[in-house]
Amino acid sequence: MTLLTTWPESGPGTLLRRTADPVEIAAALEPLGVRYERWPVREDVPADADSETVFAAYGPQIDRLTAEEGFTTVDVLGLHPGDDPEYPVRAKAAREKFLQEHTHDDDDEVRFFVSGSGVFYLHVGSEVHAVYCEKGDLLGVPRGATHWFDMGTRPSFTAIRFFHEEDGWIATFTGSAIASRFPDYDTLAAGYEQEKDAA
């Protein structure tokens, strides 16, 4: 399930919103120009499925979204702990790349989570919105929106990425240290799991 948490940009001392209701999340994100959808989850798709398996499983949804938005490139990105001795190095480098506040001048950032989870942080106006996404969630951050993404210290996810531009992910970094002021993925995920266990 998705979790939306909103704070003032000054820091997380004041909680402005916290909801796991998909209707409320969609209503809160729509005015920000953020696309949020829930796709039916394919439980028969392994968490670390390869691109061919993912495309076969989610073909109709991919085709619909590509037709609606005019995407030219769709790919699958996966990062999972396992037997790969390079995983710690690759995971750290990937996390650091996305963890700094940035914008995309020429493209939206659209991701569908096939498995695993991650948090998009949207810095809009005087607020920061943390959108904790799990499998089945699609999130589209509009071009020009200031944001960052955290996959945690031990990333484990597979995501479909949609691009209008063939060059793929190109970021303009703001140089701000704002990301360091807010709870990271590991903190949010741990709290969320405790809440679900208690429910």
> Is 123 labelled as part of a ligand binding site?
no
Check the CA dihedral 172-80-65-34 and report its sign: negative
Q: Which of 157, 143, 145, 146 is nearest to 185 (CA)?
A: 157
> Is 109 labelled as part of a ligand binding site?
yes
Q: Which of 40, 104, 113 is nearest to 79 (CA)?
A: 113
> Is 104 labelled as part of a ligand binding site?
yes
Distance CA 199, CA 189 (A): 15
C-beta neighbour count of 118 within 10 angstroms: 25
Distance CA 195, CA 199 (A): 6
Residue 120 has which token pair?
């998009």
Q: Which of 76, 91, 100 is nearest to 175 (CA)?
A: 100
Distance CA 121, CA 138 (A): 14
**Annotated binding-site positions for Ni(2+):** 102, 104, 109, 147
**Annotated binding-site positions for Fe(2+):** 102, 104, 109, 147
**Annotated binding-site positions:** 102, 104, 109, 147
